[in-house]
Every structure is written in structure tokens, then in C-alpha cells.
Structure 1
């Protein structure tokens, strides 16, 4: 009787062990998240900012100090070629020239020029715009122009650009001809395309609040500017330094290096983590480009730090990607 009891106990222990042992073995396996390698279009960029400015200016200058009679424009006004800018008080101008000649302080104006314009018949009645644009500055002293500086500056707003400063750490990725996207709070909700047209030959120091930074200035021309863009606006510029179509990308954290700095991932195959060496390419916003060693649809471990060795049985669960 005792013999049967012992056999029964052994049988029960065996059955319990047979049922529990696989679960114990499985529970001892490392758990890994699994993701599926996918392809995507990529775009690498350099982000910077700067000021919108005109590509060219038209300076309205006078040969002599002109006394302005009526100013027909103000800073910020849009003018068209041929528009009246200001009229001249010819009599007051001639009298002012005579005073200058008598004082002997001519400000660099020749005696011949002073004599010529002291005759009111030689003084222009009015000045007109020779180009279209926005009046960016008016430089008069008590309604009198200075022949040494422009009386009026007209900015050519048909062609605008952004002058940006790019850190020395990332300037190597920027080159002439690259496309750019321009946005800004002054023209919120609008987006303009542009092109890198100039990279300055020397770096400069840009002072910050607490420290300085070495930067290289560059010019990004703006395609098809309109009335919403104004010189002086602050602009954010995203320079597109590289693009790619259907590129195989995996997250940074799924890649491991061996003692020889060779990169590899763990490919999940029939419940085992199998080491696969890979060749990586460009680093992009959402991961790393894979050039060799994987293909689209391959299942890999997202958290390889849990795996020790090769051909290891693992417990798998779907990853976030």
C-alpha cells in the first residue's frame, strides 16, 4: 500500500514539474520589444534665423543742399517708378547756397557747383522715383538735404533675402544652391521658399547675453516675396541639406556596438535574438539610415540591452514602432 502511495506522490510531483518548468524557463528569458524595420522619406535640415532685407536699394541724392518745399512720401510708403518724392524751394535753396559760399565752409562742394546752382534756373523743381519699392529712410536736417548722404532710400522689395548666422558646428552641411523654407511671426501662417545664394568667406564672433559664438553668415534669397514680407522682419530659416526617398530607418536605441566598434542589431527569428551586423548611413530626425544588413519588414529588438549573447531565446512583445 505504501508503495502505491509513494508512486502516486512521485507521479504528482512529476506532473506538476512538467507543467511548471516550461513557465519557469520562459520567465527567465529576457523580454524584448520588437519593432518592424520600415522605409521612409528623409530630410536633414539646418535651423537658423535672421533678418529680412532688400537685395538692392535706390539712393536719391542731391548735388547740393536742397531746401525741401513739400515732402510727398513718408518712411514705409510704397512708391512706383515715376512717383513724385518731393518738391524743392528753389529761392530758399539759392539763398542757402549764397550763405554757404560767403561762409567759406562748403562741405566739400566745389565753388563751380555752388555758383552753378546759385542761379535758380539750374535748380530742379522736384525729384521723382527712379525705381519702385518701399521708402526705408528719409535723411533731412531742418528740411534740407545733405549731398554727402542719400536724401531718400528706396528699398527694392521685389527681391528680398534673409541674412542668417550659422554656427560653426553645423556650417559644413550648408552649401550654395540648397533649398530653404522661411517662416516668421511677422508673416504668421505664411511660408516662403528660398535658396542659399551666398556663404561668407570668413567666420565672425556673435555676442550673446552671457557668451559669444563663432558663426558664418549666409544669404538666403526669397522666391516670390509679396506684400506680407517687409525688410526688417525676423525670419526663421530651415535649410534643407539632404533628402532621400524610401530610406530604411531604425531607432538609435536599437543599435549596439561590439568591442571593435562594429554596429549590429538583434534580429528576432523564431523566438531567438540573432545578432546581425549592419552598416549605417545618415543620422536623421527619427533614427539612423541602414545601408546594409537589414531589409524592410525585418523584426528587430528595440531594447537590445536586455540581450546577452547570440541566438538567445527571448520573450517578445510588440514595440511602440
Structure 2
């Protein structure tokens, strides 16, 4: 008797459950289909780079008397970066001036005649004078100044360091003839450059993105972009495409990619070179198309489906999809204006399942 009672109770429970499930609809959210414009986008990734990096070089030899900046310092155009003690160059300038004066006096009084070891002409004196003026201007370069507004990226000088500029192999014989031997007595030569500072222009910051061959022709100058810098809390940032490369570069995985440049000068003082970024580029608009939320799509056996609300039930319907964005997708076939598609909860419904609308339908 007890066993029979237990069986009856179990069957009753099962019956109640089946009755409850069959008569209680799942609450769903729906959206009424209407045509609208679809903004097409491409998602890319890349890095930040400063395109304008100015290298400053000392133009004279000497001992570094003072270095006034360090990496990270902001500088303005004309700010003094370093001072070099150029006493050797100053002596050279004085020596050449004395040679010029001596030569002029000698020519005037005829003391440099055919019997003299050195022969000098008026043209050679003019060459010396030009060289003298050049060295005077060069002497002013002992004070190294910033040519732009920016910040110091690298410093290659330190106080009391000796800067030795390599000598220029200038063939003075072609300029001065026999008189060049007189210059050689004073070890005179024109200097060359050695690196000293690197200054970055923060307004030259660009987002450099990588795009494959399937999408590169969709990107054009002037297209708007939304950029996110992974290391920043404050995002996103807006910019416009200014350049799309025509020549691809080789990626580490052996594939090719094209570079897309987007200036973002407003970030120049907030970031550093090489930071990783992601970007969404708006490549155009499709007019008057049917779109639905991407979350409403389901896939089965290689086909694409959505659930449509019809007479209190969820009806599975196959669709043909087109372009998509991060949260929307175009429906080319399978839906029409006025249809009610179920947007959630997709994972809890099935074909012909009873459902009940749980939201206000926007007209």
C-alpha cells in the first residue's frame, strides 16, 4: 500500500512538472525589425610611435662643461641643453686670424716673394677668410640648444666628458695650394658630427596600425577612428587616417601587413613609444538595411538562424547575413520589417517553445 502511494505521488509530481512547463512561457526580450543605416567598421591593432625624433649632434670638440637636461625633461625651442668648453677651437680661430693678417701684410709689402717657402694669392686669402668666418659661427655652437619644443628622450653627454669630433678629410691643397702646409703646422681641420641628444616632438605621435590585404583597400585618408591605448585608464581617443602604406611589411608569422597612420597629438605627453593599441576605423555606411543585434544570431550545422516571436512561440528562422559591426549584423534574407526577433535569453529557448514578451516594444 505504501509503495503504491509513493508511485502515485511520483507520477503526480511528474505530471505537475510537465503541466507547469507546458503552460508557463519563458520571459523573453524582443526587438521590432526596421531598416536603418549600418556604420561599417574595421578593427585593427598596432603600436604608438613618435614620427619626429630630432637628433642633436655636437659640432665642436672639447670638454663638456655643463649638461642641463636629463631624459624625460620638457624643453622649449632655444633652451640650452649643454655647454662645451671649446678653447682649442677658439685658439684655432685666433691662429687663422693671425695667418690672414700676416698674409695680407706680406702681400702688401712683397715679403712673400718667389724665394719664400710659402706662396699665397689673394684668392687663397679669401678662402681662408671664408674658413675663418665658418669657424667663428661654429664656435657659437659650443652652446647646444634645442631646435624644437619637446621632451628629452636620450642624453649621450655627461659633464667633464671629452667630446672628440672626427676630423674631416678635407683636401685643403685643392683650396690653398702650397699654402695648405702653413695650416697643417697648426693642425687645423673642419669637424664632423657625433651624437649628443635625442628630442621627441610629442605632437608627432601616431597610431600605427596593421591591416591585411583583404581590408587595406577599404581604408582611405580622412576616415574616422576610435583608438584605445591598452595602458591608459582614460579611453577612447579620436583620430583620422592620414596615410595608408602601399608597400607591405613582413610580420613575424610570415604574413604581410600594410601600415595605417593616425595622428593623435593630444596623447603625446601621456604615453611612451611602443605602447600597444587597438582601433576601430569607420569605413563607410550602408543605407536602409535590416540589422539585428549580433547576440540574436545562432549557428547550427553551418547555417545561421534567429528566433522570431509568432503567436506566443519562438519560431526558428534561417537567415542570410551580410556585413557586421561589433554589436550589429546585417540580414540580407530571412527577415522583413515589422518582424519581432527574440534577442534574449537565446540559450533558454528552442523552436516552437512558448515565450512571453518581457519588454516594451519600440515602435
Bin the TM-score by the shorter chain: 0.5 to 0.7
> Offset of 1:70 from its aligned partner?
1.4
Does residue 156 (structure 1) correspond to residue 201 (structure 2)? The answer is yes
Q: Which has the higher strand share?
A: 1
Alpha-carbon separation, structure 1, partners of 2:128 and 2:155: 28
Find 1:75's aligned residue among 52, 56, 71. Answer: 71
Q: Which has the higher helix share?
A: 2
Counterparts in 2 of 1:1-321, with a 5 A limit? 36-38=30-32, 44-53=41-50, 55-65=51-61, 67-93=63-89, 116=132, 123-124=139-140, 125-140=142-157, 142-144=161-163, 146=165, 147-168=192-213, 170-207=215-252, 211-225=253-267, 227-230=269-272, 232-242=273-283, 248-250=291-293, 251=295, 253-254=297-298, 267-270=308-311, 280-290=321-331, 293-296=335-338, 298-299=340-341, 314-318=352-356
> Offset of 1:81 from its aligned partner?
1.3
Alpha-carbon separation, structure 1, partners of 2:218 and 2:77: 41
Aligned residues: 268
> Offset of 1:79 from its aligned partner?
0.6
Unaligned runs of 5+ in 1: 1-19, 98-110, 308-313
Contact 1:94 1:118 in 2 (8 A): no
Alpha-carbon separation, structure 1, partners of 2:58 and 2:193: 8
CA RMSD of aligned residues (A): 4.7
- Helix, strand or coil at the partner of 1:224: helix
Alpha-carbon separation, structure 2, partners of 1:185 and 1:167: 22
**Are the structure 2 counterparts of residues 218 and 320 from structure 1 closer, same or farther at C-alpha, using a change threshold of 3 Å?**
farther
Alpha-carbon separation, structure 1, partners of 2:137 and 2:317: 91
Q: Per-residue displacement from partner, 1:135-178 (whole Å, max 9, x unpaired)?
A: 22334594416534543232211332122333445445433222
**Are the structure 2 counterparts of residues 181 and 203 from structure 1 closer, same or farther at C-alpha, using a change threshold of 3 Å?**
same
Alpha-carbon separation, structure 2, partners of 1:273 and 1:121: 86
Contact 2:30 2:309 in 1 (8 A): no
Alpha-carbon separation, structure 2, partners of 1:149 and 1:218: 34
- Helix, strand or coil at the partner of 1:294: coil
Contact 1:36 1:297 in 2 (8 A): no
Aligned to 2:96: none
Contact 2:312 2:356 in 1 (8 A): no
Aligned to 1:16: none
TM-score by length of structure 1 reads: 0.62
Contact 2:314 2:355 in 1 (8 A): no
Q: Which has the larger radius of gyration?
A: 2
